[in-house]
Structure formats: structure tokens, C-alpha cells
Structure 1
Amino acid sequence: MSSDLRPSPVSVTVDFEAEGVQHGFLRLPYSRDDAAWGSVMIPVTVVKNGDGPTALLTGANHGDEYEGPIALFELARSLAAADVAGRVIIVPAMNQPAFAAGTRTSPIDRGNLNRSFPGRPDGTVTEKIADYFQRVLLPMADVVLDFHSGGKTLDFLPFCAAHILPDKAQEAEAFRLVRAFGAPYSVKMLEIDAVGMYDTAAEDMGKVFVTTELGGGGTASARTAGIALDGCRNLLRAAGILQGAVEERATQWLDMPDGSCFTFAEDAGLIRFCADLGDRVAKGQVVAMIYPVGRTGVDPVVLRASRGGLFTARHFPGLVKPGDCVAVISDEIGG
């Protein structure tokens, strides 16, 4: 549990209750070799217009994922208070140290922000960031949209997702907003490691939580960046925060019902995929082969699909290690 023995060391240069548009920073003191009285400066925008729900929009929870930051820096630049009923809090790069370094985890403490909740006000830099979101920002929010993509080690079909939850009203609202987001694919998502996640922290507070996986490979394309920005605006419209009608888009619903959706490498080597993202594969079909790279003339290790379905995600780039997730196969279902 997040410590309540001391306040968060993070200070903020905006007023979350003030009307209008404000741009500022979450400032976290960080003493280091090149700045004894230095700080981590996390950009934040607040747009408020009267009463209404609050949306908390976040990107770069992992620092090598770019669709979210692109969409949110653009939204922060362009969103007018007159277009909003309620409040929008935009943090394009919540793990700013990782974002600046282009790495999944923080270069300061190697912390994975999305496994650091609820955080600690007296912990590492990553734990202090998590604590501020846990105790200050998440309680303000009604709706949370946290952008993700595959980063440097995964590549996804572009999808928006929410989780199956014990609270069915909370779950239904999350999936309503997933549908409104309008990504090419929409997923009922299974997490293989949910401990310490931002998702779990928000959902445990009763917040409506929506996330994405919008490509990967440590870059963003014109298509995936566009999906992120258009989807974000659609979600805000559906939540009653942004003026205008939701722009309806076709989406294919997917389900990840259990652990058989995931295929993991048990050997290191060079991976050759035998199916591409978006292909339909059968149970037992060869989806990849791993070639040992220490010598020639050795047969590759064959990886077969544990279930039939749609090839949804794959390892990126070409070399794998034991334990790497190399493929995800989902069920195609009705919305």
C-alpha cells in the first residue's frame, strides 16, 4: 500500500481547479551528479470548463511507446476550453525519464512504472511518480485512458482494450468507451502480469479504465498515430467531455481468454515467423522457428500455436531470448 506517512514530493505548476487551459509541469526533485538541486519535469496540461466528468489521459507509461505521446502532445496543443464540459488532464509522458531516454524502464532506477503502483513517496524516482498518480491524479479522474504500444520488443495489431472486471457496470462502461474509441481491433484483455499495474490501481478505485496497444517496433506510423488521436477524441466525446458526435468506425472484437493465447520462447536465437499479424492460424500450426546462431547446420526449434485464432502480436525485432513472448493469438468474437 502507498505510504501516507508523508506527502508526495511532487509539486505542480498548474491549478487543477482553475477554469481554462493551463500548461505546466509535475516537478519531482532529483539530486544527481549534473544537478545537485535538479528535478524531473513532467509536462502536464489541464483543460477545464465548468462542471462535468474528469478524463485523465496518459502516454509513455513505458518510454519507448510513441503513439500516445504524439496524440497527447497534439491534443494538449489544440484542445480549447470551450470544447470541453468538465476537465481533461493530459500527461503525454508520465514516465518522463524513460521517455527522454527512449527506453521501456527508467534510466534512473530501472523502474518499470507500470509495475510500480501504488508507489511510495519516499521510494525511488519511479515509485514517487507512481505514488503521485495513485494519491493525487487518479482520485480526480472518472475516466482514464492510458496509451500503450509494443515498444522496441513487441508489435501489435492496433487495438483498444479494457479488462473483464468483477463490477459489471464498471466493465460495461469501459467496453462502451473501447467501442467508441474505434480502433481497428477491440480487445477483452488478459494481463499475464497485473501486479503493480496502473490499470489495476485505477480499476480498484472504481475508475473506468481504457488502454491500447497501437503497433510497436519502437516507432509510430502515420496510421497508428492517427488511430491514437482520433480514438482519443472519440472516447472524450463518448464520455460526455468533448463536444461533438462520436465518429463511428468498424472494429473487430478480440478476446484473450486464457494463457494459451501466449507463446513463449524457451531457447535463444534468430526468430523466423511463419505467419504475419492479422493471419488466422490453426491450433498446432507452426507460427515461428528459432535458429541457434552459435553454429550452422543445426535445426531450428519449432513453435506451434497452442490455439487457433487471429495472430495479434509478435516479438520484435529478430533475436529472442528464453522467456520472451513471441506470439499472441486471440479469438475473434462479436462486439
Structure 2
Amino acid sequence: MQMIPSPITATVDYAAPGVHHGFLRLPYSRDDAAWGSIMTPITVVNNGDGPTALLTGGNHGDEYEGPIALYDLAAKIRAEDVTGRIIIVPAMNYPAFGASTRTSPIDHGNLNRSFPGRPDGTVTQKIADYFQRVLLPMADVVLDFHSGGKTLDFLPYCAAHILPDKRQEEQSFDLVRAFGAPWSVKMLEIDAVGMYDTAAEDMGKVFVTTELGGGGTATASTANIAIRGLQNLLIAAGVMRGEVEAHPTRWLDMPDADCFTFAEDGGLITFLADLGDAVAKGQPIARIFTVTRTGLAPVTVTANRSGLFMARHFPGIVKPGDCVAVVGVEIEA
């Protein structure tokens, strides 16, 4: 069976030496442009025989620390600083990034649940397919920036996953340590099916991710963590010259599903603990008020395990099934 080629074309040469800025052009016929295209910015830097780092942000379009760090890097990087190849895509899901939404406004696709994608599928599936078949195979190291977007808020952390291949896992956590975020996490996913993370790890790539704040914005602090951590990771990975700027980090583990607490009721939420607080199993951490009438007692939400309050629902209104809290366990490095 003949493989369908990707409809996406790059306006940059991935093998050319030096610094090159361009686009990933995806044809997209629509009401206002019959022969239109989605133009996703990309920068490629080649110098030396070192490894290739694939750097991505905007996997979800309402998360900004990654795009800030990557647009910043693309604006100032010099070929002589590089000892391998760097591929920078500040906004993977460019339609979602342009709309400031988690998913694509075109097809409502969640790029981080769309892998391996399809070259003849929806716009989001076509983007996933290009990363799956073209960009990921080039990479040795993958850094995909995330934060909480409009619906979650996190302690700022860098993370990797526990993997069957312990050498791959160790290399990933070495780069988490080098990144130097205030917190470092052994991360557990609620659902890893279709994730960019899983696609990269299944190819044997060294994969690192982040959650750097949230609320659909970036602070000076979280943006600086992203910028500094990105440079540290590239130096530690042997892709850029320089010395890692060491920063203290505290480690959290997410050992099982008890880390997560989900709302069983909808309404107005008020938290009884803040991010960074120590909480005990069974401790009330939030209350949810029914908003359709007054005079009803709120529902109490409790922690499913003891540990450190590391993430929470951000908007004041929750729906049944929303993740309202994540509790991690602090561990030694």
C-alpha cells in the first residue's frame, strides 16, 4: 500500500548550515481564501555534528511560556552558538495559538491527542502526521513546553515520564534536572493515548515537557523560567555551547491515580488550600456551591492522598468531571 505524502511543505532546508527562518505551509481552502494556507513559523539552525533538538510550544494554543521562550530563542540565536541542529516550532497548533484556544478553531482538534495523525485527515491530524513522520524522526531530544492554559494552574515544573527503557528514562530526567525549574516531576498522565509525548517516547527519543503556571497567561517569573531552562537544556544536551546555570529544584512524584481529584458536582468552587501547601489524605481542599439556588450547603472536596498541592482548576466555575486538584509526593532527587 502506497504511503500518502504529507500535504505540508517546509520553506526551510533542514540540512542547510546556518540560521534559517520560514514556515510549514499547509494548504487550507476556506471561505475567505480558496487557495489559502496555514503558515506555521519555524526556525532551523545547523552548525556542527552534534545531536538534533526539536523544540515546540503552542501544542495547546492558550499556553504561552513555551512560545515566549521559543520566539525569543529564534530571534537571538547565532549559528556559532550551536553544536548540532535545533528545530524551533514556537506554535505547533498555529490555528489554536492564533485563537488563544486549547483546541483548533477549525476542527476542534486537540493536537496533543491526535498522534500519529493522518495526512488525509483533518487539519489537526495533518499537523500531527507531519511531526510524526518528518520532524520527530530527525530529533534526538524533544522539549515540548506546556502550562495550564485557561483552565489549570500549576507549580512551575519541568517533567519527564517513567519509561520501560531505563536508559531513555535516565537521559530524560538528566535534562529535567539541567532545566532547573523550581520543581521537577516524575509525571503521570491521565490519558497518554494519542499524545505527542507518547509518539516521541515510542521512537526512543529523549522527551522532556513542562507545566509552567497557567490561567491562560504568562508571568515574568514563569517566562524567565522557560527562557533560562531552555538554554540550560540545550547546553546539557550537547546542542549549544556554554555552561548550565545551576538552579535548585525540588522533586515531586506522581505515583498513581490518587494524585488526581475530580469534581462530581458542578458549581462555584472555593479552594481551602493553595498551590505549594502540604495536604493530608481526606483533608478538605475545596468546596463547591450549587449556583442554581441559594440556601444549599456546599459539597466538600477532599484530597485522595497526602502530599503537596501541585495543580488546581483555575476558573471559578467547575463542571462534573473536571480535574480540580493534583497532589504530588515530594521525594529526594
TM-score normalized with structure 1 length? 0.99
Correspondent of 1:84 among 64, 82, 85? 82
Is residue 149 from structure 1 mapped to residue 135 from structure 2 by the alignment? no
Structure 1 residue 5 displacement after superposition: 2.3
Which runs of at least 4 in structure 1 moved beyond 2 Å after TM superposition?
none
Deviation at 1:50, TM superposition (A): 2.0
Q: Which runs of 5+ in 2 are unaligned?
A: none
Q: How does 1:54-93 map to 2 (within 5 A)?
A: 54-93=52-91
Partner of residue 134, structure 1: 132
Q: CA–CA distance in 1 between the matches of 2:314 and 2:28?
A: 33
2:294 corresponding residue in structure 1: 296
Cα distance between partner residues in 2 of 1:160 and 1:191: 14
Structure 1 alignment gaps of length 5 or more: none
Find the counterpart in structure 2 of residue 105 from structure 1. 103
What is the CA–CA distance in structure 1 between the aligned matches of 2:59 and 2:153, rounded to whole Å?
17
Report the Cα distance in structure 1 between the residues aligned to 2:240 and 2:283, rounded to whole angstroms. Answer: 46
What is the rounded CA distance, in whole Å, between the counterparts of 2:87 and 2:4 in structure 1?
24
TM-score (norm. length: structure 2)? 0.99
User: Any idea what SS the aligned residue of 1:152 has?
Assistant: coil
> Which residue, out of 11, 14, 34, partners 2:12?
14
- The match for 1:216 is 214
1:272 match: 270
Structure 2 residue matching 1:98: 3-state secondary structure? helix
Q: For 2:232 and 2:24, how far apart are their aligned partners in 1?
A: 27
Partner-residue secondary structure (3-state), 2:41: strand
In structure 2, give the amino acid aligned to 1:327: A
Superposed CA offset, 1:216-270 (max 9, x none) = 0000000000000100000000001111111110000000000000000011100
Q: RMSD over aligned Cα, in angstroms?
A: 0.7
| Superposed displacement of residue 52, structure 1 | 1.0
Match in the other structure for 1:238: 236
**Aligned counterparts of 2:304 and 2:204: Cα–Cα separation in 1:** 34
Deviation at 1:101, TM superposition (A): 0.1
The residue that corresponds to 2:38 in the other structure is 40
Alpha-carbon deviations, 1:141-199, whole Å to 9, x = none? 00000000000000000000000000000000000000000000000000001000000
Equivalent position to 1:320, from 318, 321, 329: 318
Q: Secondary structure at the match of 1:128?
A: helix
Name the SS for the 1:28 alignment partner: strand
Partner SS, residue 215 of structure 1: coil
Mapped partners of 2:278, 2:2: distance in 1: 50
| Alignment partner, residue 199 of structure 1 | 197
Aligned partners of 1:216 and 1:4: how far apart in 2? 43
What is the number of residues matched between the two proteins? 333
- How far, CA to CA, are the matches of 2:105 and 2:314 in structure 1? 21
